[in-house]
Amino acid sequence: MLKYFGMKILSVTKGSVAEELGVRAGEELISFDGFPVFDFLDYDYYNSCENFTMRVRGKDEIVDYEIEKYEDEDLGLELSREIPVRSCCNNCVFCFVDQLPEEELRSTLRVKDDDYRHSFIFGNYVTLTNVSESEIDRIIRLGLSPLYVSVHTSNEELRRKILRTKRETPSILSRLEKLSRGGIKIHAQIVYCPGINDDVDSTIRDIEPYTQSLAVVPVGLTRNCNPELKKVDSASADAVLSVVEKWQKELLVRRGTRFVFAADELYLAAGKELPSFEDYEDFAQIENGIGLIAAFKHEFDAAMESYENGDVGELSIATGESAAPLITECALKVQKKFGGKINVYKIRNDFFGSTVTVAGLVVGRDIFNQLSGKPLGSRLVLPKVMLREFGDVFLDGTTVSELSEKLGVKVQIIQPDGESFVKALIRA
């Protein structure tokens, strides 16, 4: 819960509304219109309003200001833009954080972020189990939209079993309904665990009225996973895709959107053809990895058409097992059109376990162990998703320069999109 409120004013812009009123750096911003200020989201909201009251605690007294300004006029206060992470109060059966290897991993990877403010700012999925009713009201009042919500199932009892939450919270359906009525757009997800939340059909039916889009993604299993969990196999992937496709057909007619989208891995697991680029509509769930292959192919084809000449030389690309067929297919097309020699290496994930096949979880030590002594050409191309959010470091702590030095090859990090891929390969 958000217990503490009030924020220190770091600076006041010269000539701004706040400065003219006499507000000074070092004072404390307490509330707007009587609502306590918890973080910069309160400030951002009121900074785009015209008329409101603002309470500030100065050195000796509390002052209430009546603010009148233009909507786009900056009030002029600088506050901290940091929001400390609020951890989750769950212990989900499939929690990826709990499945991380014992090895030394940076502590940020072990943070169980379940913060609705981070959902609004960064698009992280949250369960809403650690959010009070007054915070739901705050979300609506400040218009913190869209939010990304992990639903998993609309069956409350089953949801409690999956999340193993320590707190009693209102039902997820009542929360989604309230947020939706309050004008908050919600993108939802189901982490599909075969044998646990197979009734995807009822969940889609129940949450569809309150949400903008829904992703169905397979549970991710590492070598440390909970033994209760089963891997999504071809039969379970096929079954869940049939449900998704049934709803897509119905909702395209009724809502004008397919609404529910399945992860690329589910099509790969079922051995089914992936939907076309157009079928993903506005790629509402791309941050969840949904439609990545279609988007990559689309960007790749457009980039290939736009370049006539290229200088490929001999180089290598390393990727995860799931993306390897696509990357191989694209590398061959580049080679055919521009010449050169491109070695594509599929990296088995020994660090997290061989069931982990995505490129984003390939680590430096697996790349080194599997590519050492292999022909690499003049450079090794790797997608940026293999690195942590900040810094040139893989998830296992290996740095890009360490890998480059150990393999004796230049390592080139590229954005994981089709255009960057072509540009990097042909040195455009």
Q: Cα(37)–Cα(60) distance, rounded to whole angstroms?
A: 20
Pick 186 or 407: Cβ nearer ligand SF4: 186
Sign of the CA dihedral running 388, 413, 276, 324: negative
Contacts of 88 (CB under 8 A, 6+ apart): 112, 113, 114, 126, 127, 129, 130
Asked if residue 127 binds ligand SF4 (CB under 6 A), the reply is yes
Q: Please name the amino acid found at residue 417.
A: D
Q: In this structure, are strands 186-192 and 213-218 parallel, antiparallel, or unpaired? A: parallel
- Three-class secondary structure of residue 17 per DSSP: helix
Number of residues that bind ligand SF4 (CB under 6 A): 9
Burial category of 46 from C-beta neighbours within 10 Å (exposed 0-12, middle 13-18, buried 19 and up): buried
Find residue 393's DSSP bridge partners: 399
Asked if residue 97 binds ligand SF4 (CB under 6 A), the reply is yes
Maximum CA extent, the chain: 75
From 44-52, 88-96, 306-314, 316-324, span contacting ligand SF4 (CB under 6 A): 88-96
Asked if residue 141 binds ligand SF4 (CB under 6 A), the reply is no
User: What's the closest the beta carbon of residue 95 comes to ligand SF4, in angstroms?
Assistant: 3
User: What's the closest the beta carbon of residue 302 comes to ligand SF4, in angstroms?
Assistant: 36
Return the residue of 5, 57, 112, 350 that touches ligand SF4, per CB under 6 A: 112
Asked if residue 91 binds ligand SF4 (CB under 6 A), the reply is yes
Q: Cα(277)–Cα(295) distance, rounded to whole angstroms?
A: 6
DSSP state of 394: B
CB-based contact 126:85 (threshold 8 Å): no
Asked if residue 224 binds ligand SF4 (CB under 6 A), the reply is no
Asked if residue 2 binds ligand SF4 (CB under 6 A), the reply is no
Pick 194 or 275: Cβ nearer ligand SF4: 194
Asked if residue 90 binds ligand SF4 (CB under 6 A), the reply is yes
Return the residue of 56, 88, 216, 330 that touches ligand SF4, per CB under 6 A: 88
Asked if residue 235 binds ligand SF4 (CB under 6 A), the reply is no
Q: Cα(278)–Cα(293) distance, rounded to whole angstroms?
A: 12
Q: Cα(277)–Cα(269) distance, rounded to whole angstroms?
A: 19
Pick 92 or 425: Cβ nearer ligand SF4: 92
From 92-100, 295-303, 380-388, 393-401, span contacting ligand SF4 (CB under 6 A): 92-100
Looking up tokens 């665990």 gives 193
Pick 130 or 420: Cβ nearer ligand SF4: 130
User: What's the closest the beta carbon of residue 87 comes to ligand SF4, in angstroms?
Assistant: 8
Pick 91 or 401: Cβ nearer ligand SF4: 91
Asked if residue 147 binds ligand SF4 (CB under 6 A), the reply is no
Chain residues binding ligand SF4 by CB under 6 A are 88, 90-92, 95, 97, 112, 114, 127
